[in-house]
Amino acid sequence: MKSTEARKHQLELDIEAGLQVIEHALNTFRDGSCRELFPLSERVIEPTFSFISCIFDNVFDYAVKGYTSAADCISLDDLHDMNAFLHIASPAMEFYEGDRLTECEKVFSAMIARAKIDLANGGYNYAFTENENPFILGYKEDLLTLSEVALLANMNEKSVRNATHQTKDDRLETVKVGGRTYVTPEDGFRWLRKRRGFTPTVTLEEGASS
């Protein structure tokens, strides 16, 4: 699995590539000026400062490094902006012969997974619902997918699925809902705490954000 530093760099590259593909599409639609600039794979991508990159940086510190504080929580507007960026940029990347923004998608999903565990442990309640309706498709506050557990454990999903087998000594307990396999945040946290790749959530005062 990638190191934290490598993941952060890839996240920065993903964001810049996403911004470029959105700008490319808009300029093409406006005046046709960018039709010949792609495929994206032939362009050199260098990270630059942007508002959306600041949001993702903050979320990366929480989702991957486990740093948070009640005074520096993720706002509903931040979540809307990230969700919109992913829904616009990732499909556009594929359309213009680039790669999906995989690291951005992983960080967004890991944020949701960590928030579920933190909420179950009495932590901050991040606003993934609006007027009691989830704005993230398929969001279940009281259940983790195996993919979400894998992201927090820094493991591949196949290894996590293997850990659910009845023959395992330290089995990851699962539940079935609508034919799909889930893990409760409580069971997920119990299992994750014994995994080397998992970083428990700490306050910013206890950790370092760099």
Q: 79: which 2 tokens? A: 């979540």
Model confidence, pTM? 0.85
Q: How far apart are CA 133 and CA 170, in angstroms?
A: 36
For the stretch 139-157, pLDDT in tens is 677 899 999 999 999 999 9
Q: 51: which 2 tokens? A: 């508002």
Per-residue confidence (pLDDT) for residue 127, from 0 to 100: 56
Q: 109: which 2 tokens? A: 């999903």
Alpha carbon dihedral 30, 84, 103, 201, in 10-degree steps, equals 150
For the stretch 101-127, pLDDT in tens is 999 999 999 998 998 898 888 776 665
Q: Any idea where the domains of the chain sit in the sequence?
A: 1-111
